[in-house]
Amino acid sequence: TACGTSWHAGLIGKNLIERFAQVSVQVEYASEFRYNHSIIDNKTTVIAISQSGETADTLAAIKKANDRGAITIGICNVPGSSVSRETDCGIHTRCGHEIGVASTKAFTAQITILYLLALKFADSRKTITKNKLKAYLDKSAINSGLRSLSKVLKAEKSINKIAKKYKKASDFLYLGRGLNFPVALEGALKLKEISYIHAEGYPAAEMKHGPIALVDKNMPNVFIVPKDQTYDKIISNIEEIKSRKGKIIIITDSRDKILKSLANDLIIVPKTNHFMFCQLATIVLQLFAYYIAVGKKLNVDQPRNLAKSVTVE
């Protein structure tokens, strides 16, 4: 349970915990959970995710879970905060003080913690072999992931160039599948928050059930396309948008020619694994939103109408 960006991290956590540890997970907005009829008892574990540790709705959700006898775990960036104190146990993301109102490093830290937690759950439930676990946590794999992150950060000039082209758009669609559906939601939220451009995130295949009606020659569509089992399906989604003259921005780890032919703009990140790809795509989208906002001469740290921590219901 969580709000905003932290809720998006929760969606990634669900995918990872179900995948590795084979435990069923529900992800609830804290503001809904506090009043809804979710079945919570002393056999339930409730993980509350919060950068600030002071979000009113998340605290109310923790109180409800505690009252029902659930085990509560906090994933939080601020030691000593209310979330840290009110939960039974927890993990601090410790990614440093986050200054900008739009959450960025807190999100990548939250999903890293959730990845490790999912692997740890899997290990204790014996749903993963020791060899697989070792491979996921292998130091050289982690170091190569880190090198890929710095390569993405070094590509910021080209991301800036693309952002300049689209800064006048009034609406964006962000599309991804699996782990990258929450990444699409998060990319759209970042853009809304700091550039004041309307953006929506959708699972890529869901686009044909409504949002496609919005597509015309003025609409940029950001596709997150790792080379995984749904790659071919996403290509056909891209073709559908292309045939309606929508602008296509693709973030991928594939060098296939077809992507070049479909994209108006193509951002290729290094090849890594399914989890690291979603980290890399997140950073591309954060930079993209940042440069659109900078291009529009907006204050990226203090966007209008927003506070860093929402301490009222």
> Residues in the site for ligand M6R, rule: CB under 6 A?
3-6, 50-52, 55, 58, 101-103, 193, 306, 309-310
What's the min distance (Å) between Cβ of 249 and ligand M6R? Answer: 21
Residue number, 62 or 215, with CB nearest to ligand M6R: 62
Sorted by sequence, the CB contacts under 8 Å of residue 57 that are 6+ apart come out as: 3, 29, 30, 31, 34, 310, 313
First CA to last CA distance, the chain: 15
Structure tokens that stand for 246 in this block: 């929508």
Scored b (16 or more CB within 10 A) or e, 182-210 reads bbbbbbbbbbbbbbebebbbbbbeebeee
User: Is the Cβ of residue 65 or residue 250 nearer to ligand M6R in the bound state?
Assistant: 65
Query: Residue 4 Cβ, how far from ligand M6R at the closest point, in Å?
Result: 2
Taking CB atoms, the residue at the shortest distance from ligand M6R is 4
Q: How far is the CB of 103 from ligand M6R (least distance, A)?
A: 4
Q: What is the C-alpha separation between 19 and 29, in angstroms, rounded?
A: 22
Residue closer to ligand M6R (CB basis): 216 or 301: 301
Which residue has 């000039």 as its token pair? Answer: 157
Count CB atoms within 10 A of the CB of residue 256.
Answer: 13
Choose between 158 and 302: whose C-beta lies nearer to ligand M6R: 302
Min. distance of Cβ 101 from ligand M6R in angstroms? 5
Nearer residue to ligand M6R within complex by CB, 102 or 111: 102
**Which residues face 29 on adjacent strands?**
2
Least spacing, CB of residue 44 vs ligand M6R, in Å: 21
**Cα–Cα distance, 285 to 291 (Å, whole number):** 10
Least distance from C-beta 102 to ligand M6R, angstroms?
A: 4
Both structure tokens of 3: 């709000």
- Smaller CB separation from ligand M6R, 60 or 205: 60
Closest to ligand M6R by CB, 142 or 306: 306
Could you tell me the smallest distance in angstroms from the CB atom of residue 52 to ligand M6R? 3
